[in-house]
A = this chain, B = another copy of it.
Amino acid sequence: MQSEINKKLEAKQIKPTPMRQLVLNLLLQEPSALSLRELEEKFDKVDKSTIYRTLQTFQAHYLIHAIEDGSGSLRYAVCEENCTCEPHHLHFHFLCLKCQHTYCLHDYPIQIPQLPEKYQVISANFVIKGICPNCKA
């Protein structure tokens, strides 16, 4: 699995440091997107700025994407294989108002409406809010 992690890092031209391996590992294991603070809490003694910069690096290399779910903090989740974070690669996200988890709805690609010509679309962030299956019970 370690080699699994490293392969993913190197595929995106990211030098695999211990810190980065750990963070990526956590992100891969989690079914929901994690915030900076949530990541921080999973470590005992790692500074948030280190994690922050790790996440910045990951984003710059399209390894993860940030989700603005309106919960007050950004959430991060690993991108799909060949994602370039362009609009046609994006999917919906679901924020559960009860457990406050945010899930990638990978099977639900977003569709951006045809806007008037003069609008140039670069990116998008579609968040649906409600109660997730786990909390509905």
Within A30-52, the residues touching B (CB, 8 Å) are none
CB of A62 closer than 8 Å to a CB of B: no
C-alpha spacing A51/B3, complex, angstroms: 54
Q: Which residue of B lies closest to A93 (CB)?
A: B125
CB of A99 closer than 8 Å to a CB of B: no
Q: Contact check, A119 vs B124: say whether CB atoms are below 8 A apart.
A: no
For A124, what are the chain B residues with a Cβ–Cβ distance below 8 Å? 126-129
CB of A27 closer than 8 Å to a CB of B: no
For A122, what are the chain B residues with a Cβ–Cβ distance below 8 Å? 97, 129-131
Minimum Cβ distance to chain B for residue A116 (Å): 7
For A115, what are the chain B residues with a Cβ–Cβ distance below 8 Å? 94, 105, 108, 128
Within A80-137, the residues touching B (CB, 8 Å) are 92, 94, 97, 105, 108, 111-113, 115-116, 118-133, 136
Bitwise interface map of A from 49 to 72 toward B, beta carbon under 8 Å scored 1, else 0:
000000000000000000010100
Q: Contact check, B113 vs A108: say whether CB atoms are below 8 A apart.
A: yes
Q: Which residue of B lies closest to A131 (CB)?
A: B120
For A112, what are the chain B residues with a Cβ–Cβ distance below 8 Å? 128
For A113, what are the chain B residues with a Cβ–Cβ distance below 8 Å? 92, 105, 108
Task: List 11 additional A-B contacts (Cβ < 8 Å) besides A115-B128, A125-B129.
Answer: A68-B68, A92-B113, A97-B122, A105-B115, A116-B133, A118-B133, A119-B133, A123-B129, A124-B128, A125-B125, A126-B127
